[in-house]
Amino acid sequence: MGFKKNKIKDEVYAVIGVGRFGFAVAERLAEAGKEIIVVDKQESVVEKAAAFTDNVFVVQELTRDAMEKIGIQNCDVVIIGMGDTIDVSILVTLTVLQLGVKHVIAKATSAEHGCVLEKLGAEVVYPERDMGIRLANHLMAPRVLEYIALSDEINISEIRLPTSFRKINVQDLRPRQRYQLNIIAIKHGETVTTDITPQTELFADDVVTVVGKQVLIQQFEEDLQK
């Protein structure tokens, strides 16, 4: 019997192809309390996923009929995780879109693969490339904890202030005037503040979330260490 969505529930997610990438996505969504469906051809993988969701399906051939029986058409978001087998990835992505799923996210292993998936109408992710970029960014800017690329130039980044940082308020730090950066959140210990004013104070070891051009974020991070 396939999955049927309870209309009073939040969004329902499905992960098709549960390798390291797909499993990590599914597990994290389940931890966040989301309704999650897991589909893979390997029974051993599906059995592991059964630890965090009851909606697990072993499917050898991902045909339209098989996915309809599972209930993929009842999902709000479907993540296609089998990027290594390009022809299967493309066919499954096409089928899921034809079933009427509004938001389909597909893993790609090359620019050409991603281009095809985008033309079909999927949102494309490149896990290996993105991890490499994050590692390179961390090596160049070790105090930057996280990068989220909004475009080729604009990033959101979390930066931990050094232990040598002397208390100062946002107005005196002047991130907008000096670096064209906006501070959108500050984490002090376990407390997170998003209501940032010119008088908001910053302390050593605070984690500051900024948005702006990547090159200026890097300059800001480098200047903090001086």
The answer to whether 188 and 135 have CB atoms below 8 angstroms apart is no
Question: Amino acid identity of 2?
Answer: G
Task: Report which of residues 141 and 11 the model is more confident about.
Answer: 11
Predicted confidence (pLDDT) per residue in 110-161, tens digit: 889 999 999 999 999 887 776 666 666 666 655 666 667 677 678 888 888 9
pTM over 0.75: no
Locus of tokens 């302390």 = 203
What domains, with CATH codes, occur in the chain? Answer: 12-125 (3.40.50.720), 130-224 (3.30.70.1450)
The answer to whether 155 and 220 have CB atoms below 8 angstroms apart is no
- Per-residue model confidence (pLDDT) at position 99: 95
Burial of 101 (0-12, 13-18, 19+ CB in 10 A): buried
3-state helix, strand, coil in the chain (%, to 5): 40, 25, 35
Average pLDDT of the chain to the nearest whole number = 86
